[in-house]
Structure 1
Amino acid sequence: MKKFLLFLAGLTALGLLLANLGPMILLGASVWLLYIVFKQFVKSDSTAGKIGWIVVGLIVLSIAVSNVYAVVGVAAAYVLYWIYKNWTSRTQNSTSEKGDDPFTNFEREWADLNK
């Protein structure tokens, strides 16, 4: 039952990730552009140049703020990663705890027969 719920949660997280993939790309691009605008602002010597870079920076900042709900996509990617880790660790722990490995059981039985 837990695997089924993890599967449903994974499908939901994958859907959210795919739905927010475009805004996530735009948010990343706008943050990169803000970095470039800031670097150009610092390099600029004239007052008109600085004002121009501030205007461009405000435009790019408005694009970044409009895509801030892309954080939902990042959270969905983290949930998907967590589900994957939980899914794989659960299967490895259950196998090692129960001792259902046929080779381990065979070695144990063979050692008992040789005594």
Structure 2
Amino acid sequence: MKKFGLLMAGGIAALILIGNIGPMLALAISITILYFVYKQFIKANSNWEKVGWGIIGLAALLASASNIPAIIGIAAAYVLYLVYKNWNKTKQTFPKENHNDPFANFEKQWAEIKKK
């Protein structure tokens, strides 16, 4: 039943991600433009250049902020990552520790070694 739930969540997240690829690309482009505008703003010598780059930067910032569907797409990508990460995860139970037996923790330690 757990895998069915993961499959359903992954399928829904994949559909949302595919539907929001366009806004995600627009977000990436607007953030890239914003980065380069910031670099040019720092390099500008005159105040008029700074004002011009500031206006362009404000437009790029508003374009980035208006991409709510892209943020939903990023959240869907994260859900897909979580589904992928938890798909073959098994719950491990260890026997109760017996402090008199030196081999009681062998299974627990072996499982920790296999993780690394």
Aligned partners of 2:84 and 2:47: how far apart in 1? 53
Find the aligned partners of 1:5 and 1:81 in 2 and give their Cα distance.
Answer: 15
Per-residue CA deviation, residues 19-73 of structure 1 (Å, 9 max, x unaligned), is: 1111111111111111100110110111111111011111111111111331111
Gaps of 5+ in 1: 95-115
Partner of residue 42, structure 1: 42
2:87 match: 87
Give the partner amino acid of 1:43: K
Separation (CA, whole Å) in 2 of partners of 1:27 and 1:37:
15
| Contact 1:27-1:68 within 8 A present in 2 as well | no
Question: Which structure has the larger Rg over C-alpha atoms?
Answer: 1
Corresponding residue for residue 22 of structure 1? 22
In structure 1, distance between residues paired with 2:24 and 2:31: 11
Measured against aligned partners, the alpha-carbon deviations of 1:69-106 in whole angstroms (never above 9, x if no partner) come to 3111111111111111111224xx68xxxxxxxxxxxx
Shift of 1:12: 0.3
CA RMSD for the aligned pairs?
Answer: 1.7
- Count of residue pairs the alignment pairs up: 93
1:17 shift after superposition: 0.7
CA–CA distance in structure 1, aligned partners of residues 70 and 80 of structure 2: 15
Return the TM-score normalized by structure 1: 0.73
Aligned partner of 2:15: which letter?
Answer: G
- My pick for the range that moved more, 63-72 or 36-45, is 63-72
1:68 and 1:54 mapped to 2: Cα distance? 23
TM-score (norm 2): 0.73
Q: Which amino acid aligns with 1:21?
A: I
Partner residue of 1:53? 53
CA distance in 2, matches of 1:51, 1:88: 54
Between the aligned partners of 2:9 and 2:50, the Cα distance in structure 1 is 48
